[in-house]
Amino acid sequence: MQPDPHVVFENETIVAIATPPGRGGIGIVRLSGAEATRIAEPMLRLRNPLAPAQARFADLLDLETQEKLDEGVVTFFAAPHSYTGEDVVEVAAHGSPVILETLVRQALRGGARLAAPGEFTQRAFLSGRIDLTQAEAVRDLIEAQTLYQARVAAQQLQGALSRRIKPIKEGLVALIALLEAGIDFAEDDVDVLPSGEILSRIEEICGLLQPVADSFAHGRIVHAGLMLAIVGRPNAGKSSLFNRIVQRERAIVTATPGTTRDLVTERVSLGGIPVELVDTAGMREPSDEAERIGIRKSRETLADADMVLLVLDATAGPDQDEMELLATLVQRRAIVVVNKSDLGHPSAAMEEALGDLGLPVVHTSALSGEGVGELKQTMLAMVGDRTVETENGMLTSLRQYQAVTATLEALSAAGAAAGQNIPHEMVLLDLYGALRHLDSLTGETTSDDILNLIFSTFCIGK
């Protein structure tokens, strides 16, 4: 269970460098714990005493010689009004690794302990300052590669997902309370909830929770990015289209079919979502061992890709191999790109065949750039509705998704039991199971092993 946020934790004072490794204009050493000010003050020559939420200019001292080591700005945050909920002292010095490491060593001699990865954020969680979804958002914000990822993480850090879950949990708790009352006070003429009412309430809760589970399809892509494979037969213009999308001459383009024999990858941003774009070898009967290996890699990439661009030549109708490949893409996130539109228009038979498949079709000219903008918009639309999910909160990790799906499974079991008029005591077992899984989403019932695994993925000083 998550500890009471009002409990004072008897933790050691911890210290770490809170800025990235290497040299920089500024480097920060952070201390957190009851002894933070006592340990920090001997290292400082202050012009004015430390005061909560105020910055103080100070000389930073070498404790062995009592000589000035550097000068910097020291900020004190008094418990509970700090990131960790404990007393926190942050010393901002010049970003020399030697100076920062000296400050850390002096703090260790003063009684502090070197912080473990993620321990500052873990203490924020344990003190009740943030829940587990917000703690995970801290890591996501640090690791964000695009502005959109950072915005999503910031929304999560502000509690967007927690707010979305709160009314769902309240509905579940209310249903549990009604069933408990009917069992405990049956002799006092408290009405026993009929099975139809129980089923109706469970369906209402599931109706609110299922969209949260569905949000993982988009949240996973936002968090981890996606792999986009460009496939097709030789000389359809795959590499030229690849270069157009990445906006530089990344892949070799020649008039000779089969120029690309290995995978060519490039990371780009598509509407703020990191995309690993992969140009593959042309699909055909290989002429030698090198091409055979390249085509095998292409098929493996096609199987693993989150999105596929199948490039067809507008001047030549799709052959049997391409039609078979198109059929396998119908149930996937895929776009048909009819390239070389500057050289001719696809035949009516080709248009009809493509229309019957129901896949989005975009006409482009990789040579002139015509249609590439429309292609990017189609790709972005296929990723999903970003605005709604960002504002409402979404699942961005497998752990969160598993917690929600386990809740739905337990609710389904409770509904099935209620529908068979099984005693309410048994229905309650499934409902309590659902509540336990839902609480694990925010960390209220998460085991120590899971917490340690989550926070160990943070960097030291965070």
314 is a domain residue: yes
Q: Please give the residue that has the higher pLDDT: either 260 or 350.
A: 350
Residues 184 and 243 in one domain: no
234 found inside a domain: yes
pLDDT digits (tens, 9 = 90+) for 82-104: 999 999 999 999 999 999 999 99
Specify whether 231 is located in the same domain as 210.
no
Q: What is the pTM of this model?
A: 0.78
CATH of the domain at 189: 1.20.120.430
- Of 350, 370, 386, the residue at which a domain comes to its end is 386
What is the C-alpha to C-alpha distance for residues 107 and 60, in angstroms, rounded to an integer?
A: 12
Q: Which of 386, 405, 421 is the last residue before a domain boundary?
A: 386
Share of the chain above pLDDT 90, in %: 40
Mean pLDDT value across residues 327-332: 83
DSSP state, residue 52:
B
Average pLDDT over every residue of 408-432: 90
Q: Give yes or no for residue 186 having a pLDDT over 60.
A: no
pLDDT at 238 over 70: yes
Average pLDDT over residues 39-67: 93
Cross-strand bridge partners of residue 24: 95
> Do 76 and 108 fall into the same domain?
yes
Q: What is the CATH number of the domain that holds 245?
A: 3.40.50.300
Q: Is residue 136 part of a domain?
A: no
Residues 248 and 372 in one domain: yes
Question: What percentage of the chain has pLDDT greater than the value 70?
Answer: 87
Contact 284, 233 (CB under 8 A): yes
- 257 against 146, higher pLDDT: 146
Does 249 or 12 have the greater pLDDT score?
12
Nearest 10 degrees: Cα torsion 79, 83, 89, 95? 180
- If one counts every other C-beta atom within 10 angstroms of the C-beta of residue 306, the result is 18
Which of the listed residues 342, 369, 386 is the one where a domain comes to its end? Answer: 386
- CA 460 distance to own-chain centroid: 20
In Å, what is the CA distance from 413 to each residue of 199, 292, 410, 433? 11, 51, 5, 10
- 461 has a pLDDT exceeding 90: no
Shared domain check, 165 and 118: no
Task: Give yes or no: residues 241 and 371 share one domain.
Answer: yes
Do the beta carbons of residue 72 and residue 28 sit within 8 Å?
no
Is 205 within the bounds of a domain?
yes
- With respect to residue 237, please indicate whether it lies within any of the assigned structural domains: yes
The per-residue pLDDT for 354 is 75
| Residue 28 predicted with pLDDT over 90 | yes
3-class DSSP assignment, residue 192: coil
Residue in the structure block whose two tokens are 């509905």: 171
Residues 79 and 100 in one domain: yes
Do 113 and 164 belong together in one domain? no
**pLDDT on residue 191:** 53
The closest of 24, 89, 83 to 51, measured between CA atoms, is: 89
Here the CATH number for the domain that contains residue 93 is 3.30.1360.120
Separation of first and last alpha carbons in the chain: 23
Q: What is the reported pLDDT for 111?
A: 94
pLDDT at residue 143 in the model: 87
Quote the pLDDT of residue 290: 62
Give the tens place of pLDDT for each residue, 188-205: 444 567 888 889 999 999
The answer, yes or no, to whether residue 79 has pLDDT greater than 60, is: yes
Residue 457 lies in a domain: no
Q: How far is CA 442 from CA 60, 119, 277, 395, 428, in A?
A: 41, 18, 34, 11, 22
pLDDT band, very low/low/confident/very high, at 384 (cuts 50, 70, 90): low
Domain range spanning residue 419? 155-215+393-442
Specify if 140 maps to a domain: no
Distance CA 165, CA 158 (A): 14
C-alpha distance from residue 53 to each of 77, 125, 417 (Å): 5, 21, 55
Same domain, 251 and 378: yes
Kindly state whether residues 175 and 57 are assigned to the same domain. no
> Where would I find the H helices in 110-257?
119-126, 132-143, 147-157, 160-184, 195-214, 216-224, 238-246
Mean pLDDT of 339-363: 77
Q: What pLDDT is attached to residue 256?
A: 43
Pick from 165-179, 371-385, 419-433: least confident = 371-385
- Whether residues 237 and 356 fall in one domain: yes
Residues 236 and 371 in one domain: yes
Q: Which one-letter amino acid corresponds to residue 184? A: D
CA 159 to each of CA 31, 57, 137, 442: distance values in angstroms, whole numbers, following the listed order: 26, 35, 9, 10
CB 274 within 8 A of CB 228: no
Residue 302 in domain = yes
C-beta of residue 205 within 8 angstroms of C-beta of residue 411: yes
Give residue 347's pLDDT band: very low, low, confident or very high (50, 70, 90): low
Question: What is the total count of domains within the chain?
Answer: 3
CA distances to 193, 414, 435, 461 from 418, in Å: 10, 6, 17, 50
